[in-house]
Structure 1
Amino acid sequence: MSLMTSRRLNLSVQYACATDGLPLRHQIRSWARTALNIDGMRGGQITIRFVDAEEGQSLNRDYRDKDYATNVLSFPYDITPIVCGDLVICAPVVAREAAEQEKTLEAHYAHLIVHGMLHLQGYDHETGEDDARLMEDKERDILASLGFADPYIDREE
């Protein structure tokens, strides 16, 4: 069975910045695999790259016309027969947000990887309230199955 028809996750993790608290490869694989399987067993060819603020800002500016570093960028290439795409995670933004939201770094990284993996599968929270609710519900389910708290709990109080 080739990768193109398998349920295997071919994951590349790139640490392009020297930042404390980055998740380990086995954690990333677990989070990505769980998010990939939310709608049934699927295979994937995924690269997850951790970057500094300069690279994050450059990519966000070049690909989204937004001149600031954001927490996660998703670059989906294909969703059938397997999910193919890249996630770029800006470590300084994640660290700042985790501190502001009083979350552990691990929980915030898990959330953003799950969030990005859902984008790679075609979910989009920016297309309307119903789509946002669907995506957030899937994120909650995935994160709960991984042992993490609801990442949106403070927004709803």
Structure 2
Amino acid sequence: MSAATIELDVDPVWGQDTDWEARCAAAARAVAHVLPELAHSEILVSVVMGEDEEVHALNQEWRAKDKPTNVLSFPMIAREELLRAAERPGAPVMLGDIIMAHGVCRREAEEKQVALADHATHLLIHGLLHLAGFDHEDGDEEAEAMEALEIRALAALGIDDPYADRDL
């Protein structure tokens, strides 16, 4: 299955023990599996796996939140434009940018007792869904729909449901 092309920039703090390029490509294929509108090689996504300070500055500038967060997504097109582009593939479509904070991701992975690579893959899938027009801050129904897509994409990669321990 075709998937978005990922342009990846990995800060050395993320380490050399994981093939982040392969992880990003696998995440893009998994999302394309659950969202056919992303199953086009003409879709481009920029991913920066950076440090907390970088994400903190972006979070403060763009979201007025004075702290780092695990992942930020900056969509370049609206969901309606993405759906129109999927109907007539051809010219490249820049979907947007994803920036991840190593320290926050590492701490969360440790707290959840999961591998950093699996947690980062979850957050990348989460970010890709944001770029595709999904949100979890607009209400419970939207959050549940987004989580369901995340769970399906992660399952395609053999990664456990990150929400399995939540209170229902």
- Shorter-chain-normalised TM-score: which range? 0.7 to 0.9
AA paired with 2:30?
Answer: T
Greater shift after overlay, 36-45 or 14-23? 14-23
Tell me if 1:141 matches 2:152: yes
Give distance in 2, aligned partners of 1:83 and 1:126: 24
- Percent of pairs with identical residues: 33
Aligned residue for 2:89? none
Tell me if 1:111 matches 2:122: yes
CA deviations 1:33-81 (Å, max 9, x no partner) are: 2213422123421010011111110000001000100000000002521
Tell me if 1:14 matches 2:20: no
Report the RMSD for the aligned CA atoms in angstroms.
1.8
Q: Is the contact made by 1:42 and 1:83 (CA closer than 8 Å) also made in structure 2? A: no
Secondary structure of the structure 1 residue equivalent to 2:34: coil
Question: Structure 1: 5+ residue runs without aligned partners?
Answer: 1-6
CA change 1:103–1:110 in 2 (3 A) is: same
Aligned residue for 2:40? 42
Could you say which structure has the greater relative contact order, defined with CA pairs below 8 angstroms and 6 or more residues apart? 2
AA paired with 2:40?
Answer: R
User: How high is the TM-score relative to the length of structure 2?
Assistant: 0.83
Structure 1 residue 23 displacement after superposition? 4.8
CA change 1:23–1:59 in 2 (3 A) is: farther
AA paired with 1:50?
Answer: M
Secondary structure of the structure 2 residue equivalent to 1:18: helix
Question: Structure 2: 5+ residue runs without aligned partners?
Answer: 86-92
Q: Is the contact made by 1:17 and 1:50 (CA closer than 8 Å) also made in structure 2? A: no
Q: Is the contact made by 2:3 and 2:28 (CA closer than 8 Å) also made in structure 1? A: no
Q: Is the contact made by 2:46 and 2:98 (CA closer than 8 Å) also made in structure 1? A: yes
Q: Is the contact made by 1:140 and 1:151 (CA closer than 8 Å) also made in structure 2? A: yes
CA deviations 1:9-44 (Å, max 9, x no partner) are: 221100134233665201111112221342212342
Q: Is the contact made by 2:136 and 2:146 (CA closer than 8 Å) also made in structure 1? A: yes
Aligned residues: 151
